[in-house]
């Protein structure tokens, strides 16, 4: 396992949109804890059903549930050249767990990129989001709709709206972000591991900013 790249930012910052493209570009896996939990929920595993109850309300799942899942995923051979973490860590306890895990593996601190966006942009992005339940492609009815109405461009499946992209759950997710995840900015800043990227503007321009930033910092 090589150095880990973390995409940090509020719900709707564009972490998933960017991580998919940047991971492809860098040839490393994109690991989204939200996607892992949603997949478990679709398969109706005990983890998935317990997580779904929390996720649909906009609450975080417990640290002791999500951290071992990430540990197992990062131990797989496809992560030996690195990986992008999207949605993890999102509490100080998760960041400490990850740090200890990387230290045991003889690796340094992860490189953390905080994607900054305005609050207004986030709400519009989340309410307009549609996702392909099969390939995970992300769309937006306002900014990036599928070419055919509600049909995924990639595989022709019907796109869906996430259960937590409603006003009540968005409010709770933003509160959870402010309370539990925002302190990570300071945490990683103190470790000199934090980079900032402007997440406003066209997705392609943001991808360019991200790629140039991680290359400047000798990632890969």
Q: Where are the beta strands (DSSP E) in the chain?
A: 4-8, 30-32, 83-86, 111-116, 129-131, 138-140, 194-198
Between residue 148 and residue 187, which ones bind ligand AP5 under the rule CB under 6 A? 164, 173
* 129 noted as active-site residue: yes
Neighbours of 183 (CB within 10 A): 13
Residue 82 binds ligand AP5 (CB under 6 A): no
Residue 30 binds ligand AP5 (CB under 6 A): no
Q: By the 8 A CB rule, do 69 and 88 touch? A: no
Sole window of 56-64, 76-84, 105-113, 146-154 interacting with ligand AP5 (rule: CB under 6 A): 56-64
What's the min distance (Å) between Cβ of 218 and ligand AP5? 25
What are the residues whose beta carbons fall under 8 Å from the beta carbon of 64, sequence distance 6 or more?
A: none
Euclidean distance between CA atoms 145 and 139, whole angstroms: 6
Among 49, 78, 105, 143, binds ligand AP5 (CB under 6 A): 143
Residue 16 binds ligand AP5 (CB under 6 A): yes
The structure tokens listed for 11 are 């719900």
Q: Give one DSSP letter per residue of 172-187, joined into a string.
A: HHHHHIIIIITHHHHH
What's the min distance (Å) between Cβ of 1 and ligand AP5? 18
Residue 13 binds ligand AP5 (CB under 6 A): yes
* 162 noted as active-site residue: yes
Residue 144 binds ligand AP5 (CB under 6 A): yes
* 96 noted as active-site residue: no
Is the bond leading into 208 cis (omega within 30 degrees of zero)?
A: no
Q: What is the dihedral of CA 52, 54, 59, 63, to 10 degrees?
A: -90
* 90 noted as active-site residue: yes
Q: Which residues are catalytic?
A: 15, 90, 129, 162, 173
Residues at the contact surface with ligand AP5, assessed by CB under 6 A:
9, 11-17, 33-34, 37, 54-55, 58-61, 66, 87-88, 90, 94, 125-126, 128-129, 138-140, 143-144, 164, 173, 201, 203, 206
């Amino acid at each position: 396992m090589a150095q880990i790249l973390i995409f940090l930012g509020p719900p709707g910052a564009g972490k998933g949109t960017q991580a998919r493209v940047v991971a492809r570009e860098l040839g490393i896996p994109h690991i989204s804890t939200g996607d892992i939990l949603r997949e478990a929920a679709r398969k109706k595993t005990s983890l998935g059903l317990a997580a779904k109850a929390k996720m649909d309300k906009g609450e975080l799942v417990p640290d002791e549930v999500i951290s071992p899942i990430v540990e197992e995923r990062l131990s797989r051979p496809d992560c030996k050249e690195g990986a992008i973490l999207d949605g993890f860590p999102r509490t100080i306890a998760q960041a400490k767990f990850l740090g200890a895990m990387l230290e045991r593996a003889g690796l340094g601190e992860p490189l953390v990129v905080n994607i900054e966006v305005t609050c207004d942009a986030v709400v519009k992005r989340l309410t307009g989001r549609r996702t392909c339940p099969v390939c995970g492609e992300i769309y937006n009815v306002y900014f990036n709709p599928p070419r055919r109405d509600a049909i995924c461009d990639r595989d022709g499946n019907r796109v869906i709206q996430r259960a937590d992209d409603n006003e009540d759950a968005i409010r709770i997710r933003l509160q959870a972000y402010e309370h539990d995840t925002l302190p990570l900015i300071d945490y990683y800043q103190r470790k000199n591991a934090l980079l900032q990227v402007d997440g406003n503007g066209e997705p392609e321009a943001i991808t360019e900013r991200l790629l140039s930033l991680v290359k400047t910092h000798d990632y890969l």
